[in-house]
Amino acid sequence: MHDTVKNLINIKEEIKLNNKSYTPKIIAVSKTFKIDHILPLIEHGHFQFGENKVQEALEKWPEIKSKNTKIQLHMVGKLQSNKVKHALKIFDYIHSLDSMKLANKISTEQKKINKKPKIFIQINIGNESQKSGIMINEFEPFYEYCKKLELEIIGTMCLPPDEKDPNIYFSKMKELNDRFNISELSMGMSNDYIIATNYMSTYLRIGSKIFGQRN
């Protein structure tokens, strides 16, 4: 059994031990890893994968996706509006909608190709100037704006501040989703995914804990 498969199985067992009441989806974030690391997971029956860069995704995934229609590819990195056209060709989910400009561009491009990605609005949960995302107090008008553009908003996403207790930020995200009756929540990475499951995160974005450290 390949190491990536062993790691995934261990993560699932750990999550189940911590919280038996639900099963979150695990996005195996495969950025910088070649296909030979990814194929064992697909053969094992894992179909949710994440990439950070549009160009890398276009180089790696078209052939595999055409052979296996169950694969769902998630854009988990920052998406520049000039890359939207290419992103929509390959990604099924976008986790990083963070501005009106990007919302407008996705709306325009999805009409052209008649394909709607499922979208998460990125929340700047720690009010950090160096991070992207919508501030919580600006969320409601932004959410309404996206709905008018006919974007398929399914959830919210966050990257909590480094070196601070993620519980504070994950609980705020859960409250936000509950308030607006939004079902999907994308939070929790290799270092804090167990904490995220305590707040019923529905999508965990796990890279190094599955694939090992990146070079």
Banded model confidence at residue 98, pLDDT cuts 50, 70, 90: very high
Phi/psi at 203 (nearest 5 deg)? Answer: -130, 125
pLDDT, tens only, 143-184: 999 999 999 999 999 999 998 999 999 999 999 999 999 999
Please say if the pLDDT value at position 55 is more than 90.
Answer: yes
Q: Which residues of 170-209 are buried (b: 16+ CB within 10 A; e: fewer)?
A: bebbbebbeeeebebbbbbbbebbebbbebbbbbbbbbeb
Per domain, the residue ranges of the chain are 3-211
CATH for 3-211 is: 3.20.20.10
